[in-house]
A and B are shown apart, each in its own frame.
Chain A
Amino acid sequence: MSEQSGTRGVLGARVAVVFGATGWIGRAICHELVRAGASIVMVGRDADRLDALKRELGGGDRVLSTVADVTSQLEVDDARAAAIRRFGRIDLLVVSSGVITGSAFSEGIPADWAEMIDVNLRGLLHASQTFAEPLLDNADRGAPADIVLIGATSTDVRAPRFAVFNALSAAIKQLARALRQEYGPRGMRVHIIEPGFAADQSDEHRNASLPVRDKQHARAASAGTPDAIAAVVTLAAALPRSVNLAEVLLLPTETA
């Protein structure tokens, strides 16, 4: 409730859509956005977890949850329709859905690669393309329009166990640059936030959208704590339209 009462925050008039809302990073972003006064549409695969998160956020008129699998173009499009139906427009898209599977490349399982490509890259493409239209509508009216992609950058050179994940993260970064060039002139900002990412040896396969349960892991990704990432999302969205916080690299302080 305390979060709700602080309406009219820096994002008071914004409508945000968060993919991967129930994930480790996504949850923090949702909390932060609500705190900043935005209306949010939470998109996730698991209805129960969405409900739980919605309760946690205090529910209210500003929060809509909708179930969609980001790998299904149709479901993403349905989420767009649901969001428009509820709030009339969308001016901030955050894509924080993703999975991480790690192993030495020679041990890698192609089906795991396919899943990562599907969710991390193809899903992000679906979400960006599907929501570009309503976002551009906003930009055309002179209102703010932002796409925030959550990428990753590997800081752990000793354990090169995430070749495919890192390759996809690089692709996402490149995509963000290309989209910025395409959409920037039309008044839409594309941001990419790359938390530094260090693998925890014991953690072979992890779904990034799962809430983190063990301390070990939290330490592993200590630089990109979800709260820090969420704070950057708010900052990026709240800056004046004339500037774009285009690329953010979040590294652990002790990493050089």
Chain B
Amino acid sequence: MTNVAGSTLAINSPDATRRGPISRLRRSPEALRGAVVLIAGTVAALVWANLAGDSYESFWHLPLGLELGGSRFELDLQHWVNDAVMAVFFAHITLEVRRELELGELRDWRRASVPVIAAVAGLVIPALIYVGITWGTGAVGGWGIVVSTDTAFVLGMLAIIGRVMPPQLRIFLVTLAVADDVGALGVIAFAYTDHFTPLPLFIAVGGLAMIAAMRLAGVWRGALYLLPSIVVWVGFFLSGVHATLAGVAIALLLPIFPTRFDDLRRAQDHVRAFQMSPTASYARTANNSLARAVSINERAHRALTPYVTWLILPIFALANAGVNVTRESLVDAFTSRLTWGIIAGLVIGKIVAISVSTWIVTRVRPDALGPAVRMSHITGLSMLAGMGFTISLFVTELAFDDSVDVSRAQIGVIAATVLAATLGAAAFAVMSALERRRSPHRDRLVRPLDPSRDRVLGDPRSAVVNVVEYGNYATPHSPAAREMRREMEGRFGSEVVYAFRHLPLEQPLGLSAAIANEAAALQGRFWEMRDELIREAPIENERQIRRAAASAGLNLRRFEHDWGDATGAQRVDEDLADAEAMHLHHAPTYFIDNTRYEGSIDADSVNAAVAAARNSALRRSEQPGAQAG
């Protein structure tokens, strides 16, 4: 299910939106590769399980344990995977959820509410459909199989088939997946815990208290958290509550915080000290202070990601997807209400739940999805959401003891996953085609650079290339823009003309900062103000804007009058309307010679693209009869 590390990072960075095919492949590896590895594990399991003999079954039931004095602790291999190794996976999910709650998408309830509502519906309705179909049979207890979507698979699919889709759709999906994971964890904790003995939980509580104490004491070395973590796991295991929930409990306690400025500065100081005298001890302090600047949660998440992607998920698939596929088992499965319950629950249930609940929300709040995401996108997404692989197989093992039921459920899960993937892929293929037909010119700049209107650097008469940026001051990515402009001026001089237009997005002070920038232009200090605003970015309070104005050398009294009167608002509104027409939802977005630049947003890449445009323009102008520019 969850393995969204790479992809969430990609979502948060501005370069995730539009890129060329090569960098796309290079840069969205986690989601894609994760899905590929998971499929490989599944295929291997299926092949292995269907080899002659029972090597698959007997291997996964090999006992493995340790014996200390007279007491022994023993589990078979499959349970080691499902109870112990998967604890790491659940810890990973929980870290993700907490990060999204405190720093990410889920923090803003207005934005998060739609996918969260869809996720809740997506838990309940599939379970009801499943129960409806299997009512009266012994299989009713397997309803937990259909509640959760496999995030790794869905993000992988979206990376392949959803390229032209708006980036907000991914954010919607990640939020949905995270909320849905919370539900699944709850289902596992409360619905699939048998013979509960509370006493050993005290051991777990002791371990958790230790972690909490370490957290309070400011311990930031990840490795030190390992020992109490094992104690917690043992406590959970002995209590009968599913032991993987130990991972959840631990991850909930790990500190998370946005990187603090002080820490960052200390780290910088230490790195500088190391640069001046590169000794082992400076290397160590530099290293430590760098690590300390990032919360344990994020470091743990980062550290676990490769293991989860490359080891834990494929091993889990290998241990759990090995269903014996024979004519009889298939006939049996596809005539059983259990299998059809799972297929209907996952495929139909998720489609109905997510589409209908989102549709209802948009009836009540028409702007709930934002400008970029349409209902058709959500429907496509809901088809993909029927891919309920990892958690479904996990719950199968918890819900059923009878091997026939397990086999039916596994076949149902795999069939539903394949069906959902096919439906979703078809839907997105149709949507992509429609999208291309609807706006074939969406990559063109609708309002060409106009020196009489735009804020321009460089000489439009001598320039052979024009660059238009749509940007704002609310993202910490802005410094890149500043650096980029410097470099552009230095490298291309009079050959490039550059214009800046405003694209304040949903940031509270985004519009205000843009208007402030225009107010500075009334004193002939647009670019100075822009530089100072970039220095202050992200803009979180009005004082930062006033400080920028003072640093830009403005007459503060005049500035505040013009800012307060919103004199520049009309221009900002124009820029926004243009951006809306071009479906720009990310800042900064660049247009080079009126064509949207799709590469990654860093000074080198953008400048390389500008250089290429300039070279081809110069070549054109050298040819007789051709026109420059």
The segment out of A72-80, A151-159, A244-252 that lies at the interface is A72-80
Verify if B557 is at the interface (C-beta below 8 Å from A).
Answer: yes
A129 in the interface (beta carbon within 8 A): yes
Contacts of A130 in B (CB 8 A): 556-557
Interface residue? B303 (CB, 8 A): no
Q: Kindly state whether residue B547 has any CB partner on chain A within 8 Å.
A: yes
* A140 contacts B by Cβ under 8 Å: no
A193 to chain B, nearest CB (A): 26
Instruction: Type the 1/0 row for B544-566, where 1 means its CB is closer than 8 Å to any CB of A.
Output: 00110111000111000000000
Classify chain B: how many residues form its interface, as a range: under 10
Binary contact track A48-81/B, C-beta < 8 Å → 1, others 0: 0000000000000000000000001110010000
| Least CB distance, B65 to chain A, in whole angstroms | 68
B181 CB, min distance to chain A CBs, angstroms: 47
Contacting B557 at CB < 8 Å: which of A72, A74, A129? A129
Would B557 and A133 count as touching, CB distance under 8 A?
A: yes
Are the C-beta atoms of B555 and A77 separated by less than 8 Å? no
A74/B555 in contact, CB under 8 A: no
Taking the nearest CB of chain B, how far is it from the CB of A127, in angstroms?
12
A145 CB to nearest B CB, Å: 16
**In the complex, chain B residues whose CB is within 8 Å of the CB of A73:** 550, 556
> Interface readout for B529-551 with A: 1 if CB under 8 Å, 0 if not?
00000000000000000110111
Alpha-carbon distance A73/B546, docked complex (angstroms): 10
In the assembled complex, which residues on chain A have CB atoms less than 8 Å from the CB atom of B555? 129
Whole-angstrom CA separation of A130 from B549 in the bound complex? 14
Residues of chain B in range 547-604 having any CB-CB distance to chain A below 8 Å: 547, 549-551, 555-557
In the complex, which residues of chain B have a beta carbon less than 8 angstroms from the beta carbon of A74? 546-547, 549-551, 556
Complex Cα gap A29–B547 (Å): 31
A133→B550 CA distance, assembly (Å) = 17
Residues on the A chain within 8 Å of B546, using CB: 74, 77
Chain A window 108-152, contacts with chain B (Cβ cutoff 8 Å), 1 for yes, 0 for no: 000000000000000000000110010000000000000000000
Interface centre among A72, A74, A130 (most CB of B within 10 A): A74
Cα-based distance from A74 to B559 in the complex (angstroms): 12
With a CB–CB cut-off of 8 A, which chain A residues contact B550? Answer: 72-74, 77
CA distance A130 to B547 in the complex (A): 15
- Complex interface: chain B residues within 8 A of A129 (CB): 555, 557
CB distance from A206 to the nearest CB of B (A): 29
Q: Tell me the minimal C-beta distance from B420 to chain A in angstroms.
A: 58
The smallest C-beta distance from B497 to any residue of chain A, in angstroms, reads 32
Q: How far is the CA of A130 from the CA of B556 in the complex (A)?
A: 8
For the complex with contacts A74-B547, A77-B546, A77-B550, 14 further pairs of A-B residues with Cβ separation under 8 Å are A72-B550, A73-B550, A73-B556, A74-B546, A74-B549, A74-B550, A74-B551, A74-B556, A77-B556, A77-B557, A129-B555, A130-B556, A130-B557, A133-B557
Q: Which 5 A-B pairs have the closest CB atoms?
A: A74-B550, A73-B550, A77-B556, A74-B547, A133-B557
Pick 16 A–B contacts, CB within 8 A, sort by A: A72-B550, A73-B550, A73-B556, A74-B546, A74-B547, A74-B549, A74-B551, A74-B556, A77-B550, A77-B556, A77-B557, A129-B555, A129-B557, A130-B556, A130-B557, A133-B557
